[in-house]
Amino acid sequence: MMNLKDSKVNGEVVSFPPTYIVVEFGRDIKTETAQWLVDKISKKKKDGGAELLVIRQPATYGQNLTVHVSAEVDKLLELAEELEIRKRDKNGVLREFTVDEIEEFIDISEKDQLLTTADRQVIVRHELENIRALSHEICILGHLECPLYEGQSIMSACLHYGIITQIYPLHDTEVIRKLGPSWYKNFFQSPPFEDIRTYFGESITLYFEFLTFYTISLVPPTILGFLQMFLYPGTLAVFSILNIICATLFLELWRRKCSELAFIWGTITMTSFDEPRPNFRGVMGVDAVTGKTLPQAPRFITHLKMYCVSLPIVVVCMFGAFLVMLFSFWVEDHLRQIPDIPIVMIYIPSIVYAILVYAMNLVYRRFATFLTEWENHRTQSQFDRHRVTKLVLFEFVNNFMSLFYIAFVIQDMELLRYQLAVLLIILQALNNVQEAILPLLLKHCYHKMNNKIPLKKETPDRRGSIFQLKQYGRLIELVGVKELDPNDSRIQQAITEGSMEKYEDPYDDYLELFVQFGYVFLFSSVYPMAAFWAFLNNFLEIRSDAFKLCCVNQRPMSRKVKDTGAWQRSFQALCALSVMTNCALLCLSPSLRSVAPDLSPVAWVLCFVFLEHLLMGLRQVLHYAIPDKPEWVRVALARNNFQSKQALKLQRLLRNRRNINQSMKKVF
Ligand SMILES: [Ca+2]
Ligand SMILES: [Ca+2]
């Protein structure tokens, strides 16, 4: 697997383990600040450091000061115990790893293979993020304008102030060379989930599990769609109802699958009392659950901020987006009424609207992240959940409101069908090009350009003007930090990957599926072929997203998750809404109306209410009939609980017996 790599520095061989995390500093970092940060990373824990290994990259033109962070195997194992990382022991039982019991997990000679690269990165990243400001450190050294409060994560603060430009893990080229092709070139096998989890971590694996599960779940609606279109055209009502049942079943079964996966991965026990996220602000205090000293902040303030400030703001933003949409329709309507207007003019409002939506999205995203940060959620999963909820509400207005308008205000079903077809066939295909192929082309061009201007290595005797040197970090002399061998392949790799696009979390990929799910199920009674096009796209999506992760983006940070969080709820809300829209569309459809032409409008409304309640009831029944966790997971969880209680009892018993024996000895 991974061996220690040797670097030669000034004749002496420096052995430096594989780089887990690369830290790139800002262009005009001060020497004292850089030294302070590097010391923090390598200092002993009792002095507020992280006890990690640091080595710097030799300065090259155009590159900021960059350091590689790593740790020795023994240190990683020790930290794995501290972080309560769960591993399978030799009997195949998943439990918390401890250094004392290492022989029960793996032979001591193979100890460097126990932790996956994803584990190692999580550990190193965690240690970096947990360098917290001490009580006397009121600002970042050398930067009075960047205040710190006690217990704040120094790395997060530096990222925030731009003192550190990025912190990223490096790809493991050997692993990716094997993993990539078995994943995106393999068209008729499910993705190698276990390998993906080992390399990318739980959060990304869960996305691919979800994508695969959803794609398979699209098969019944696709078949139903074909049957309805070509064999039984008069059965639209039956088709719509079956379609909604399919969607409901898919979401219920996914929940079960999710808890199975979370159990196997050992993440099912994650709670809101877990480790606070690095940006969590609070006064240092004793944690009520673990007794450790961690930042503490009352939860009710977060709730107050969420419901009294964020919620009204989000609603106003949604309303604003809705008004923009209405205005674009209104302008288009007016343009159509002008006689002899060139056809191009009519499309201008839609184009302007599309550009506006794009711009609004960009601004709103930053804003939503800022708001969620301000709400101060304790764990990463809470933060993600609340951020996603805010974003999804806004995206809902942008993506679906115009279709609602066409369906229920203009009531032009031909136009609606045409719009859906364009969105599902052309836009999805274009999106895949933009997602995976375009960045690759750009990267290719960038490299061609870059190769023409070779990176010049700076040698001590060929130093440029002071001005240039200041820019490229040569003047920054770090005490006690060794330098990588200039021929080390990690240097070029860090430079290349540092310029790649970041992949923060699978938010955009989930969003794509969310929007598609809406197109397929919200208006399925108008466009039954939607499921087929979605299926076709997702079949390619599994590959293009895999390709994107392996070849286009920076290696993402591995993250632990136990479920699809806010997405599960968003999909469920969409599913409930699709019951209403489909019932309404059916009650409006001329084919159904022709069955009973004498029915009064009131009777149709009653008909809608009856049908909608019936389906909602059915959804509820399915929800109760299918338990969230499969029986075996519940049994296994109960057994784990029981066993740990027994172990505690046994420990207590042994201790008591020892105490009694000792006191007996004293007596006699
Ligand atoms: Ca796509
Ligand atoms: Ca995607």
Q: What is the pLDDT at residue 532?
A: 93
Distance 512 CA to ligand 2 centre (A): 6
Distance 106 CA to ligand 2 centre (A): 38
pLDDT greater at residue 111 or residue 538:
538
Q: What is the pLDDT of residues 134-182, one digit of tens each?
A: 888 888 888 888 888 777 889 988 988 889 999 999 998 888 888 888 8
Distance 510 CA to ligand 1 centre (A): 10
| Band of pLDDT at residue 14, cut at 50, 70 and 90 | low
Q: What is the pLDDT at residue 660?
A: 86
Distance 214 CA to ligand 2 centre (A): 13
Q: What is the pLDDT at residue 273?
A: 66
pLDDT at 473 over 70: no
Distance 512 CA to ligand 1 centre (A): 7
Q: pTM for the complete prediction? A: 0.86
Residue 187 near residue 538 (C-beta atoms within 8 A): no
| Band of pLDDT at residue 3, cut at 50, 70 and 90 | very low
Distance 453 CA to ligand 2 centre (A): 34
Measured from the alpha carbon of residue 542, the closest ligand is 2
Distance 365 CA to ligand 2 centre (A): 18
DSSP string of 455-513?
PPBP-GGG---HHHHHHHTTT-PPTT-EE--TT-HHHHHHHHHHTSBP---THHHHHHH
Whole-angstrom Cα distance, residue 374 to residue 363?
A: 17
Distance 541 CA to ligand 2 centre (A): 6
Distance 538 CA to ligand 1 centre (A): 8
| Band of pLDDT at residue 253, cut at 50, 70 and 90 | very high
Distance 27 CA to ligand 2 centre (A): 33
User: Which of 205-214, 295-304, 620-629 shows the lowest per-residue confidence on average (mean pLDDT)?
Assistant: 295-304
Give the percent of the chain with pLDDT over 90.
28
Distance 183 CA to ligand 2 centre (A): 15
Q: Which amino acid is at 519?
A: Y
The mean of the pLDDT values for the chain is: 84
| Band of pLDDT at residue 466, cut at 50, 70 and 90 | very low
Tokens representing residue 42 in the block: 């390598």
Measured from the alpha carbon of residue 431, the closest ligand is 1
pLDDT greater at residue 598 or residue 225:
225
Distance 319 CA to ligand 1 centre (A): 28
Q: What is the pLDDT at residue 509?
A: 92
Distance 4 CA to ligand 2 centre (A): 36
pLDDT at 516 over 60: yes
pLDDT at 439 over 70: yes
Cα dihedral 147/150/155/159 (nearest 10)? -30
Distance 509 CA to ligand 2 centre (A): 4
The residue-averaged pLDDT of 610-616 equals 91
| Band of pLDDT at residue 13, cut at 50, 70 and 90 | very low
Distance 532 CA to ligand 1 centre (A): 15
Distance 540 CA to ligand 2 centre (A): 10
Which chain residues have CB less than 5 Å from ligand 1, an ion?
431-432, 435
Measured from the alpha carbon of residue 437, the closest ligand is 1
Q: What is the pLDDT at residue 460?
A: 41
Distance 342 CA to ligand 1 centre (A): 34
Output phi, psi for 86, to 5 deg.
Answer: -95, 135
Measured from the alpha carbon of residue 433, the closest ligand is 1
DSSP state for residue 260 in the 8-state scheme: H
Distance 211 CA to ligand 1 centre (A): 11
Give the percent of the chain with pLDDT over 70.
93
- C-alpha distance from residue 236 to each of 197, 222, 239, 417, 533 (Å): 42, 14, 5, 14, 19
Distance 87 CA to ligand 1 centre (A): 34
Distance 403 CA to ligand 1 centre (A): 21
Q: What is the pLDDT of residues 89-103, one digit of tens each?
A: 888 777 788 888 888
Distance 211 CA to ligand 2 centre (A): 9
- C-alpha distance from residue 578 to each of 519, 526, 590 (Å): 10, 12, 20
Q: What is the pLDDT at residue 256?
A: 93
Q: What is the pLDDT at residue 319?
A: 92
Measured from the alpha carbon of residue 546, the closest ligand is 2
User: Which of 462-476, 600-614, 649-663 shows the lowest per-residue confidence on average (mean pLDDT)?
Assistant: 462-476
Distance 434 CA to ligand 2 centre (A): 10
51 three-class SS: coil
Distance 574 CA to ligand 1 centre (A): 20
Distance 431 CA to ligand 2 centre (A): 8
Q: What is the pLDDT of residues 204-229, one digit of tens each?
A: 999 999 999 999 999 999 999 988 88
Distance 432 CA to ligand 1 centre (A): 4
Distance 432 CA to ligand 2 centre (A): 7
Q: What is the pLDDT at residue 467?
A: 44
Q: Which amino acid is at 176?
A: I
Residue 350 near residue 419 (C-beta atoms within 8 A): no
Helices (H), 548-630: 566-588, 590-593, 601-625
E strands, 94-195, in order: 94-96, 139-140, 143-147, 164-169
| Band of pLDDT at residue 560, cut at 50, 70 and 90 | confident
Distance 537 CA to ligand 2 centre (A): 10
Measured from the alpha carbon of residue 204, the closest ligand is 2
